[in-house]
Amino acid sequence: MRGGEGNRILLASGKPVFKGHEIVIKHCFPITTMLNDNVDDNSSLLAVEASGLKKTYPGSDVAALSGISLSVRQGEIFGLIGPNGAGKTTLIGCLLGLLRPDSGTVKIFGKPADSLAVRQITGYVPERSDFEYWMTARQFLQYHHGLARRDKRDREREVAEALESVELSKTVWNRRLKTYSRGMLQRLNIAQMLIGKPRLALLDEPTLGLDPTGVTLVRNLVKKMQDDGMTAIVNSHQLDEVERVCDRVAFIKQGKIASVQDLHSGAVSDYFLLVRWPESQLNGRLTSLVAEVAEETKASVDEYHHDWGRFSVRDNKMASLLIRKLIERGVPVEEAVPERAKLEELFANESSSDQTGHGGIHDE
């Protein structure tokens, strides 16, 4: 799904333009008739409420969405994970009102997804952006500033702020986008989402093509957005990042929600800590030592051998206590490495039961 010229989708008809199966939004116009149609400030409203979403693309015999229901609270950062072709981007399209589900409903702050008032407060980082490559970054954001109907007097300041917040060097602000690298375009893509100061942001693979600094930047931006009261839905294959920023995560599989995990409940933040020690210095005390330390720290022993042990720990605090106790008891710890996180574990378990992507990459 393409986001056309980004996220500020204010179509004169109030409807997205469909071309074939893809959404192509080429010309977006601010609407004046929507002035009185504002989204309610009522904090008890759910930011997103989707119910029974089903969607099969024309010409396809496999459903991209097979009945998805989802609620996201205001201020929440909600993650979407799942294999390629699972339906994450399609779901985002339906939540944005860019794709029409075959059945089911979407309410954003209590209003229909495709209402103009909703579009005005919604930011979107599309999976595949369609930039106007002849524009400079500054022009591109100025254009989006207009689409977002922001006050023109604030334009230069807000455009500069957005470019600064994605750490695009000033030296490229006036360069045409056709000269931009992929990562630079992705940073601009994120800046474009920020420009209208949306209340709800939908980020489809926001770290795609970004260098490690960019990945950290996205993490910090999402956290800041939350501090500022925004709600966000983040679809990403970077599970460690999802784990760091999200409050809850839905695992999407074959167009359905296979499970929803609350990342603050403790259950998902557990991880394995692999600890290595030299065998020679333990003099046969290993079994009792491991059991005692596990008992004291409340970590559980997953497996241990003569020179290493794998412990399940709830958090970093428990991990450091475990290492300290081992050392105190004379285990000369050489190395302690966190193994794959629970979300990764969940991904592997949920995915292993069948092939990747229904009608997706294995569908020949």
* Strands in 90-209 per DSSP E: 103-108, 111-112, 122-125, 200-204
Site membership for Mg ion, residue 89 (CB under 5 A):
yes
Report the C-alpha gap between 288 and 202 in whole angstroms: 51
Find the part of the chain contacting ligand ATP (CB under 6 A) among 6-14, 26-34, 85-93, 331-339.
85-93
- List the one residue from 28, 64, 225, 299 that touches ligand ATP (CB under 6 A): 64
Touching ligand ATP, residues 39-58 (CB under 6 A): 57
In the bound state with ligand ATP, the residue whose beta carbon lies nearer, of 307 and 344, is: 344
Closest CA to 77 of 270, 224, 257, 188: 224
Closest CA to 239 of 337, 348, 333: 348
Touching ligand ATP, residues 89-108 (CB under 6 A): 89-90
- List the one residue from 84, 169, 220, 355 that touches ligand ATP (CB under 6 A): 84
Find the part of the chain contacting ligand ATP (CB under 6 A) among 167-175, 274-282, 337-345, 355-363.
355-363
Contact 97, 25 (CB under 8 A): no
Sign of CA dihedral 145, 148, 152, 157: negative
In the bound state with ligand ATP, the residue whose beta carbon lies nearer, of 45 and 208, is: 208
Contact 96, 4 (CB under 8 A): no
Site membership for ligand ATP, residue 259 (CB under 6 A):
no
Touching Mg ion, residues 98-127 (CB under 5 A): 127
In whole angstroms, what separates CA 294 from the centre of its chain?
A: 35
In the bound state with Mg ion, the residue whose beta carbon lies nearer, of 64 and 326, is: 64
Closest CA to 135 of 127, 125, 124, 146: 146
| Beta bridge mates, 108 | 48, 111
Touching ligand ATP, residues 99-158 (CB under 6 A): 127
In the bound state with Mg ion, the residue whose beta carbon lies nearer, of 236 and 297, is: 236
Touching ligand ATP, residues 2-21 (CB under 6 A): 21
What's the closest the beta carbon of residue 23 comes to ligand ATP, in angstroms?
Answer: 9
Q: How far is CA 101 from CA 8, 113, 233, 343, in A?
A: 21, 11, 18, 29
* Strands in 32-156 per DSSP E: 48-55, 65-72, 77-81, 103-108, 111-112, 122-125
**Which amino acid does the sequence have at 1?**
M
Find the part of the chain contacting ligand ATP (CB under 6 A) among 45-53, 88-96, 107-115, 328-336.
88-96
Find the part of the chain contacting ligand ATP (CB under 6 A) among 60-68, 107-115, 139-147, 242-250.
60-68
Report the C-alpha gap between 135 and 123 in whole angstroms: 21
- List the one residue from 39, 48, 72, 86 that touches ligand ATP (CB under 6 A): 86
Touching ligand ATP, residues 202-241 (CB under 6 A): none
Find the part of the chain contacting ligand ATP (CB under 6 A) among 68-76, 80-88, 309-317, 324-332.
80-88
Binding-site ranges for ligand ATP (CB under 6 A): 21-22, 57, 60, 62, 64, 82, 84-90, 127, 357-360
